[in-house]
Chain A
């Protein structure tokens, strides 16, 4: 897995790592994103934008583990889905306000990440991926067998949007949008900070050459576990928020095809880039939405995109742009 994220962008990344112009570029990009977020609900359908933001956060969290930790997980749906169940259940049955429900969901996802991660990181490469898949399947089985909690295949329906902090009603799409945008922005900035921190540097070192990192004195497994937990928790944040937006949590969120979708989003957007997953999520969600009328052809189109990306655009959309402007994105 070592040449995975860095194969073609390696030179650009090494050069521009501590480059001031890169930092300035990123700062401008963040401002641009903030502006886009502010304008979006007035030009596009707010629920659609919220869906994109939730999945973008999910993809960002996944990319943290894969692009910067070098660990391919096939079971990220477990954290996304279980958090969405917890958030939906507590908002509906315990009457928690939405921000508490989301926080609780995130916390549960992080704990689950800790447990699963501890088991999985003992192995490498494809075996690591298969263990994460197996553990996610068990989470799916658990969800199936506890219909009193998860509602079985009906899922948890009619989840109330509630009042933020008990004061501001989120029933209106626009009101909820600001909360979701804030969560997304917060998550994105947090991930950026993690990647560009000393902790993030060590993780990248471990990804690129684990034996060497260990020989330098870094406890690789602890770092890997920490990245795993962060990634799981942030995926949980995305899932918990999604449950409130759609007012529903269902088995689709824990099924292995959801894990596959997040891989696709990250691949299309650009593995190992900061902004790639956002673009990837936007493309995939938009495609699913606007091609819904095509029926079976959606599967074929998704397959073609997978194949095209692997053959031609291995770096993903943002990766190609980054290579072109010779700066890391």
Chain B
């Protein structure tokens, strides 16, 4: 094995940049999860499966409807978000009064069903999906070759993350949401339709997952397992960031991508475990995560 200690600075910059790009994926995925947990107190284990559905809807748009990537970026979140709304109305609303654990187990069960159905129908090797022609190729930055698509992913992810944060923290709609979480009865007494708000929020969180799925389709293999592999990492990101905090999820997502990227250079075998080590350390020092409210 060829250990790269004393990595030349150019290679290091390249890896750092790649790490940040991956971080943008983690950020947008954990954003959806953080929105759902932070505002609804639901631990949505089906998030990985919904991410996978987003990628598959993009594929279906291309292969069944002849619709391209750009339209899929809008269609997939809406379609998958709609299924999310159905899930919330039919399943989650019924168990809302019980312990968090049941929500987690229910969404875990749903994830198994969704994954199993897709696997049965589409096989497990995956389906081909290419990079849209407007985004192929790349720039030679000197220290590395940056594919244009990856640059687009960072931009799209940052825009969506910041927009979501802004809506939730700085607008009136966001304040209704936050009030509904803290005290649903009182908020409802003010005339705000809390159940509708809850349903739409869940749908929005799921739509975020599907958006990440469409972003992923051109560069990661589109297969039914793609979500399952990512889900526990995304959970770890959300927990480290603090389960109620939107900004926490975003910052932690990017930071984690960075740390993972550096680990891939110096001790690559550990790059998928480093996040768990960090999670244990953070939770021991800051019980509610880096930015979280008290548990």
Question: Closest residue to A133 on the B side, CB-wise?
Answer: B232
Question: Closest residue to B288 on the A side, CB-wise?
Answer: A127
Chain A residues 288-318 with CB under 8 Å of chain B are 295-307, 309-311, 314
Chain B residues 226-244 with CB under 8 Å of chain A are 232, 235-236, 239, 243
Contact A3 B116 (CB under 8 A): no
Question: Closest residue to A7 on the B side, CB-wise?
Answer: B98
Interface of A is mostly: helix
- B95 located at the interface, meaning its Cβ lies under 8 Å from any Cβ of chain A in the complex: yes
Task: Tell which of B94, B120, B243, B273 touches A300, judged by Cβ atoms closer than 8 Å.
Answer: B120
Binds B, one of A10-18, A135-143, A180-188, A231-239: A135-143
Provide the bound-state CA to CA distance between A45 and B243, in Å.
48
Q: Closest CB of chain A to B169's CB: distance in Å?
A: 23
Contact A137 B273, CB 8 Å, known A1-B99, A130-B235, A303-B111: yes
Residues of B within 8 A of A138 (CB): 273, 276-277, 280
Contact A124 B109, CB 8 Å, known A1-B99, A7-B98, A296-B116: no
Provide the bound-state CA to CA distance between A141 and B273, in Å.
7
Contact A300 B112 (CB under 8 A): yes
Contact B98 A119 (CB under 8 A): no
Contact A3 B105, CB 8 Å, known A127-B295, A137-B273: no
Q: Closest CB of chain A to B213's CB: distance in Å?
A: 20
Q: Closest CB of chain A to B225's CB: distance in Å?
A: 11
- A263 located at the interface, meaning its Cβ lies under 8 Å from any Cβ of chain B in the complex: yes
Contact A4 B99 (CB under 8 A): yes
Contact B112 A299 (CB under 8 A): yes
Interface of B is mostly: helix
Provide the bound-state CA to CA distance between A236 and B207, in Å.
42
Interface footprint category on A: 35 or more
- B7 located at the interface, meaning its Cβ lies under 8 Å from any Cβ of chain A in the complex: no
Contact B232 A311 (CB under 8 A): no
Q: Closest CB of chain B to A234's CB: distance in Å?
A: 22
Contact B91 A134 (CB under 8 A): no
Contact A314 B102, CB 8 Å, known A127-B295, A307-B113: yes
Task: Tell which of B91, B113, B280 touches A119, judged by Cβ atoms closer than 8 Å.
Answer: B280
Residues of A within 8 A of B109 (CB): 302-307, 309-310
Residue from A130, A141, A256, A301 whose CB has the most chain B CB atoms within 10 Å: A130
Q: Closest CB of chain B to A319's CB: distance in Å?
A: 13
Contact B283 A131 (CB under 8 A): yes
Task: Tell which of B98, B99, B269, B287 touches A123, judged by Cβ atoms closer than 8 Å.
Answer: B287
Task: Show 21 A/B contacts (Cβ-Cβ < 8 Å), sorted by A.
Answer: A123-B295, A124-B295, A126-B239, A131-B280, A131-B283, A133-B232, A134-B276, A134-B280, A295-B120, A296-B120, A299-B116, A300-B120, A301-B116, A302-B112, A303-B113, A303-B116, A304-B113, A306-B112, A309-B105, A310-B95, A311-B95
